[in-house]
Amino acid sequence: MNTLRRAAIAASAALAIAAAGLGWQVYTGGELRRQFEHDVAAGRAVMPSARLVREDELAHLPAPVRRYVAYTGAVGRAFPYEYRARFRGRIRGGPDAPWMPIEVEQVSFTNPPARLFFLRATMMGLPVIGLHRYVGAHATMDIRIAGVFPVMRARGPEMDVSETVTLLNDMAILAPGTLLDPAITWEAVSSDTTAATFTNAGHTVRARIVFDRSGRLTDFVSDDRLAASPDGRRFARWRWSTPMRDYRHFGGPVLPSRGTARWHPPEGAYDYAELEVLDVKWSPADAPH
């Protein structure tokens, strides 16, 4: 009896230690959080010297893009070599899948380009931690329950191209001053729509960007971002769009505060993410007007 009791106590202690370890992983973000912080520090270590976005630099842009960059207040401020954002909202894995609450911290760099997207979500009552990482020429997506048990791991040329689209999307929505980047070429489509072609690390993608008469970006549409399967092993080429709305001041810049991410499969479009932008900061700090 004493032997059984000691075994039961030992098993309970082991479970308690394991639970504490998982709790610590969830609290700290574990390996994925450490990777995120390492990449952020590496990006900040090579940031160029500050410079201002000048109005004459907008001359080559199509009229809707010029109006938009001016509307957001990017002109006369420091070029955003780093931009940081926080989001909250909900996501789902398909049109019939349940929504999951999500919180996101994102840090992006422009020279050299990098995108780091750290998320916390809840799936069926379980904590989920994830990292979208685009550094150099390659992108990965790593989603884990409690920051330990893999749910999705995606990498490869499809991810590289897809995250190049996402990077261009972020530049347009979160840091419009970066649209001056010579890696982007522009083509006027109509009075309110332009086509952008963006090349980074050997990956070239294209998107249509739509604006309203006030100069605000209202939609971003691309056929070059691929939808990953739930396990990240397969990809489908579906149209992707991100309608944006509710512009407001973020301590200087005027940017959209709400947006939707939408897939357009053959059977019909559906929204898979609804996000509220809580905070956006550009670095170097905005120059005074």
pLDDT per residue as tens digits for the range 129-186 = 999 999 999 999 999 998 788 999 999 999 999 999 999 999 999 999 999 999 999 9
176 contacts 72 by C-beta, under 8 angstroms: yes
CATH architecture, domain 31-283: Clam (2.50)
pLDDT for 100-139, tens place per residue? 999 999 999 999 999 999 999 998 899 999 999 999 999 9
Q: Which residues, at least 6 apart from 268, have a Cβ–Cβ distance to it below 8 Å?
A: 95
CA distance 243 to 226: 18
- Check whether 11 has a pLDDT greater than 50: no
- Check whether 223 has a pLDDT greater than 70: yes
Quote the distance between the C-alpha of residue 4 and its chain's center: 52
The pLDDT confidence band at residue 18, using thresholds 50, 70 and 90, is: very low
Give which of 120, 109, 100, 99 is closest to 32, Cα–Cα: 120
Quickly list DSSP for the chain: -HHHHHHHHHHHHHHHHHHHHHHHHHHH-HHHHHHHHHHHHHHHTTPPPP-BPPGGGGTTS-HHHHHHHHHTT-TTSB--SEEEEEEEEEE-SSTTSPPEEEEEEEEEEETTEEEEEEEEEEETTEEEEEEEEEETTEEEEEEEETTTEEEEEEESHHHHHHHHHHHHHHHHHH-GGGGG-TTEEEEE-SSSEEEEEEEETTEEEEEEEEE-TTS-EEEEEESSPEEEPTTSS-EEE-EEE--EEEEEESSS-EEEEEEEEEEE-TT--EEEEEEEEEEEEEESPPPP-
Q: Whole-prediction pTM value?
A: 0.88
pLDDT for 50-108, tens place per residue? 999 999 999 999 999 999 999 999 999 999 999 999 999 999 999 999 999 999 999 99
- Check whether 206 has a pLDDT greater than 80: yes
Percent of the chain past pLDDT 90, that is, above it, reads: 81
Per-residue pLDDT, averaged over 188-199, amounts to 97
CA dihedral 82, 160, 203, 174 (to 10 degrees): -30
Structural domain spans, the chain: 31-283
CA distance 258 to 244: 6
